[in-house]
């Protein structure tokens, strides 16, 4: 039992150290970066259109991304399971690209953006949860 607990704590220390190593001098402890949530933008079915609520999420993510100019910004696109895999892969890519473009327009350096389409995913409770883009800032 003690050996497992020690191993778990050692693993936690490695994860914490790697998170802290990527932080900039403005926040040497990395407290803000570690606490940042994943920014999620939801879409209507078969759409890449963004409303004001979606744009507010993108603006918030852009502020945080600019605060940590050395950290990667991952933009992950998803789609629901209805329809063909190829169609949903293209839709998830279009959503991710649209969000990445908004981030660029909000001042995030294009070289930091890592855009990927995750394609169709099953949902647990609501179809809306599959139709999304996630913005992840930092070493997540």
Nearest Cα residue to 122 out of 72, 96, 88: 88
Q: Which residue has the tokens 């279009």?
A: 94
Residues 104 and 127 in one domain: yes
* Count of domains observed in the chain: 2
User: Residue 105 belongs to what domain range?
Assistant: 36-137
Decide: 119 and 78 in contact? Cβ < 8 Å.
yes
Decide: 72 and 54 in contact? Cβ < 8 Å.
no
pLDDT tens readout for residues 47-59: 999 999 999 999 9
Residues 54 and 73 in one domain: yes
Question: What pLDDT is recorded for position 35?
Answer: 57
The pTM (predicted TM-score) of the whole model is 0.73
Residues 21 and 70 in one domain: no
Residues 62 and 116 in one domain: yes
Residues 122 and 60 in one domain: yes
Residues 95 and 79 in one domain: yes
Residues 118 and 105 in one domain: yes
Residues 43 and 83 in one domain: yes
Residues 21 and 68 in one domain: no
**First vs last C-alpha separation in the chain:** 29
Residues 127 and 60 in one domain: yes
Residues 82 and 66 in one domain: yes
CATH number at residue 125: 3.30.1330.60
pLDDT tens readout for residues 44-101: 989 999 999 999 999 999 999 999 999 999 999 999 988 899 999 999 999 999 999 9
pLDDT tens readout for residues 101-136: 999 999 999 999 999 999 888 887 777 889 999 999
């Amino acid at each position: 039992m003690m050996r497992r607990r020690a191993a778990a704590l050692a693993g936690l220390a490695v994860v914490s150290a790697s998170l802290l190593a990527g932080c900039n001098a403005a926040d040497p402890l990395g407290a803000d970066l570690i606490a940042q949530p994943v920014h999620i933008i939801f879409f209507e079915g078969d759409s890449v259109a963004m409303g004001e609520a979606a744009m507010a999420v993108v603006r918030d993510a852009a502020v945080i991304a600019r605060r940590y100019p050395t950290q990667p910004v991952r933009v992950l696109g998803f789609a629901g399971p209805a329809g063909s895999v190829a169609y949903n892969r293209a839709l998830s890519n279009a959503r991710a690209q649209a969000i990445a473009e908004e981030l660029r327009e909000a001042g995030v350096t294009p070289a930091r953006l890592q855009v990927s389409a995750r394609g169709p995913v099953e949902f647990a409770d609501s179809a809306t949860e599959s139709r999304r883009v996630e913005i992840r800032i930092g070493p997540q």
